[in-house]
Amino acid sequence: MKKVLEPELIDLRSKLKFSFETGEIWLGENRMMLMHVAAMGAFRNEIIQSLGLERARGLLVRLGYASGVRDAELAKSLPSNDCPEAGIMLGPMLHSFKGMVRVEKRKLEMDIPNGKFAGEFVWENSWEAQTHLQEFGVGTDAECWTQVGYASGYVSTFVGRPVIFKETQCVCKGDHHCYIEARLLEHWEDSEDYLKYYKPENIAGRLIDLQEEVVSLRASLNKTALPASVIGESETFKEALDLASTAAAKPITVLLLGETGVGKEVFAHWIHDNSDRATQPFVALNCAAIPNDLLESELFGVEKGAFTGAQQARPGRFERANNGTLFLDEVGDLTPAAQVKLLRVLESGELERLGDIKTRKVNVRLIAATNVNLQQAVKDGKFRADLYYRLNAYPVNIPPLRDRKADIPLLLEAFIKKYALLHNKRIAGVTDKAMKMLMTYTWPGNIRELENMMERGVLLTASDEMIELKHLFAGVADLLPDEVELSPQGRVNTQSKSSINNLIEEMIKDGISLENCELMLMEAALKKTGGNIAKAAELLGVTRRQVAYCLEKEDKK
């Protein structure tokens, strides 16, 4: 019988070389490095957080396995390799030597040629258990994954057959110590469950697949964004949508009316998409955004040399929208000359580019929009009456958001979905308090304001969390600590509540009575209004009589 080598007989320390000159550490032929357990622990936690337990477990098992394979190769080169059992025991020694864990053999029976291997070991001071416990506390599973991987890699390489270790007890699940048991792979009934951790998974490939999925989702998002914005169940909104829907089916000119931000362009696009021109171009132009002297060339095109700077012939928006739809926003800002030309295109379908004598035919459906009172502009002589009547043949009034608040929850959902996808986040919704504010607010900027606010909310909210009030009113968050008051005009009342609370605290502390408090307020108001009782009463929101009565009572004291 061969002598079993005791651990102390092999001096592993003699295999360890520190080479300061070259910045290397060697264990036999293997380059090693010293690493902080805390750093490794942080890395391990990050893998778990970002990839999830299962994927992280696989990675860590394979990390340990790779290390075990190297150590087995080192062990084979050591003199003990003629005694298999001693060679196996070098694994635990190396494991301890490297500061991973203290190993104590409980059982080791091996007869590889006859297909037998059974080993049981106690682990103490496992670095991985210690790290895991610190971060996650006691749970229900064994967690020494790199170490189980190491043991499996070491023994499998050493004996030349797959041997799998299982951690049957672990301090991470509240056991007294960690305990591992080894068998040949085929002797484990549930080997499949374990084997999966040893097979590298193509995480990069999976990530690329996901990336592609996101890209295609985003592409489809751009298309679906339009209908998503034409969302609403409220009566006022449905009326407008019904009108738009009727208009879509006919080749008529439509005039969209409504405040800034109600979504006129979205409506125009919706009409286009639901018309028989849907496959043809949709061209939009905001008349207020183009300098007056460029407006005509932008709309009707320009011939080379028509004016200084016109170095090339260029079609205008009308030509580009041929067979499709042209959307002219802020049509009230058209210059008188452009108004004449626009009327002509609407009546005859003909136009000439600037500096050109050739007449061109276009077939364009016009959708115009304005937030000014065109009728008034006609009265003021700023807008041609004949053009106004032409445009106003089919007006559609898009209601402001404050008149369709019932739609806010639906709109919120759509915007959160849109921006969560764009910014790669999961958002759990909005808090009750934020929802209350959103329903109270009067939305002077309409849907555009709501959309901007929701985008900001999504950006400022961590994944899986709810959008809070402070995320929506990001700019004034500091001024709005706990309570936010909204005035009926839609302004946020940024008067700090906490300073009032402090004042109240102080007053109670000083024992100021309610009556005194009332008197102090009245005196302050009177001082402000130069003794005018009526004005002071107005400031305090009480009647003149109440102020007078209070002062009288004080006089009698």
From 45-53, 174-182, 236-244, 513-521, span contacting Zn ion (CB under 5 A): 174-182
Q: Per the structure block, which two tokens stand in for 223?
A: 């298309």
Q: Cβ 71 to Zn ion, closest distance in Å? A: 19
Q: Of 99 and 305, which CB lies nearer to Zn ion in the complex structure?
A: 99
From 71-79, 164-172, 404-412, 449-457, span contacting Zn ion (CB under 5 A): 164-172
Binding Zn ion (rule: CB under 5 A), the pick from 60, 178, 374, 416 is 178
Q: Cβ 13 to Zn ion, closest distance in Å? A: 27
Tell me the three state secondary structure of residue 357. Answer: coil
From 16-24, 163-171, 446-454, 487-495, span contacting Zn ion (CB under 5 A): 163-171
Q: Of 101 and 244, which CB lies nearer to Zn ion in the complex structure?
A: 101
- Given a contact cutoff of 8 angstroms between Cβ atoms, the answer to whether 101 and 125 are in contact is yes
Q: Of 129 and 387, which CB lies nearer to Zn ion in the complex structure?
A: 129
Q: Of 27 and 178, which CB lies nearer to Zn ion in the complex structure?
A: 178
129 binds Zn ion (CB under 5 A): yes
180 binds Zn ion (CB under 5 A): no
Q: Of 80 and 131, which CB lies nearer to Zn ion in the complex structure?
A: 131
Q: Cβ 145 to Zn ion, closest distance in Å? A: 9
Q: Of 129 and 453, which CB lies nearer to Zn ion in the complex structure?
A: 129
Q: Of 137 and 511, which CB lies nearer to Zn ion in the complex structure?
A: 137
Q: Per the structure block, which two tokens stand in for 255?
A: 């005039």
Q: Of 59 and 144, which CB lies nearer to Zn ion in the complex structure?
A: 144
Q: Cβ 182 to Zn ion, closest distance in Å? A: 15
- Rounded distance between C-alpha atoms, residue 323 and residue 361, angstroms: 11
151 binds Zn ion (CB under 5 A): no
Tokens 């125009």 -> residue: 268
- Pattern 84-123, Zn ion, x by CB under 5 A: ----------------------------------------
170 binds Zn ion (CB under 5 A): yes
- Rounded distance between C-alpha atoms, residue 364 and residue 449, angstroms: 31
Binding Zn ion (rule: CB under 5 A), the pick from 63, 144, 148, 287 is 144
Q: Cβ 37 to Zn ion, closest distance in Å? A: 15
- Given a contact cutoff of 8 angstroms between Cβ atoms, the answer to whether 122 and 177 are in contact is yes
Q: Cβ 90 to Zn ion, closest distance in Å? A: 22
Q: Cβ 66 to Zn ion, closest distance in Å? A: 20
From 143-151, 204-212, 398-406, 469-477, span contacting Zn ion (CB under 5 A): 143-151
Q: Of 178 and 369, which CB lies nearer to Zn ion in the complex structure?
A: 178
Closest to 482 in 3D by CA, of 460, 501, 463: 501
From 139-147, 463-471, 485-493, 494-502, span contacting Zn ion (CB under 5 A): 139-147
387 binds Zn ion (CB under 5 A): no
User: Following CA atoms 353, 356, 362, 365 in sequence, which dihedral angle do they give, to the nearest 10 degrees?
Assistant: 20
Q: Of 89 and 178, which CB lies nearer to Zn ion in the complex structure?
A: 178
- Rounded distance between C-alpha atoms, residue 390 and residue 347, angstroms: 9
- In the chain, the amino acid numbered 147 is Q
- Rounded distance between C-alpha atoms, residue 105 and residue 147, angstroms: 15
From 65-73, 141-149, 453-461, 479-487, span contacting Zn ion (CB under 5 A): 141-149
Q: Cβ 57 to Zn ion, closest distance in Å? A: 13
From 35-43, 136-144, 182-190, 279-287, span contacting Zn ion (CB under 5 A): 136-144
Q: Of 126 and 152, which CB lies nearer to Zn ion in the complex structure?
A: 126
Tokens 């968050």 -> residue: 477
Site for Zn ion, residues 23 to 62, rule: CB under 5 A: none
Q: Which DSSP category does 4 fall into?
A: P
Q: Of 170 and 469, which CB lies nearer to Zn ion in the complex structure?
A: 170
Closest to 364 in 3D by CA, of 386, 349, 343: 349
From 29-37, 73-81, 140-148, 320-328, span contacting Zn ion (CB under 5 A): 140-148
- Rounded distance between C-alpha atoms, residue 109 and residue 168, angstroms: 18
Q: Of 144 and 366, which CB lies nearer to Zn ion in the complex structure?
A: 144
- Rounded distance between C-alpha atoms, residue 284 and residue 268, angstroms: 9
- In terms of C-beta distances under 8 Å and separation of at least 24 residues, what long-range contacts does 382-390 make, across chains too? 382/332, 383/332, 383/334, 383/339, 384/336, 384/339, 384/340, 384/343, 386/343, 387/339, 387/342, 387/343, 387/346, 390/253, 390/343, 390/346, 390/347
- H or E element in which residue 452 lies: helix 446-460
Q: Of 173 and 448, which CB lies nearer to Zn ion in the complex structure?
A: 173
The footprint of Zn ion on this chain (CB under 5 A) covers a number of residues equal to 5
Closest to 80 in 3D by CA, of 23, 162, 170, 3: 3
- H or E element in which residue 352 lies: strand 350-352
Q: Cβ 70 to Zn ion, closest distance in Å? A: 22
Q: Cβ 157 to Zn ion, closest distance in Å? A: 22
Site for Zn ion, residues 224 to 243, rule: CB under 5 A: none
How many CB atoms neighbour CB 369 within 10 A?
Answer: 26
Residue 84: phi, psi to the nearest 5?
-55, -45
Q: Cβ 142 to Zn ion, closest distance in Å? A: 5
Closest to 154 in 3D by CA, of 228, 238, 98: 98
Q: Cβ 143 to Zn ion, closest distance in Å? A: 6
Q: Where are the alpha helices (DSSP H) in 160-197?
A: 191-195
Q: Per the structure block, which two tokens stand in for 340?
A: 């004449």
Q: Cβ 138 to Zn ion, closest distance in Å? A: 11
Q: HSE of 36 in the Cβ direction (CA atoms, 13 Å)?
A: 5
String of b and e for 26-40 (b: at least 16 CB within 10 Å)? ebbeeebeeeeeeee
Q: Cβ 171 to Zn ion, closest distance in Å? A: 6
- Rounded distance between C-alpha atoms, residue 449 and residue 437, angstroms: 14
DSSP letters, 208-273, are HHHHHHHHHHHHHHHHHHHHHHS---SHHHHHHHHHHHHHHTS---EEEE--TTS-HHHHHHHHHH
How far is the CA of 217 from the CAs of 58, 213, 458, in angstroms? 30, 6, 18
Residues at the contact surface with Zn ion, assessed by CB under 5 A: 126, 129, 144, 170, 178
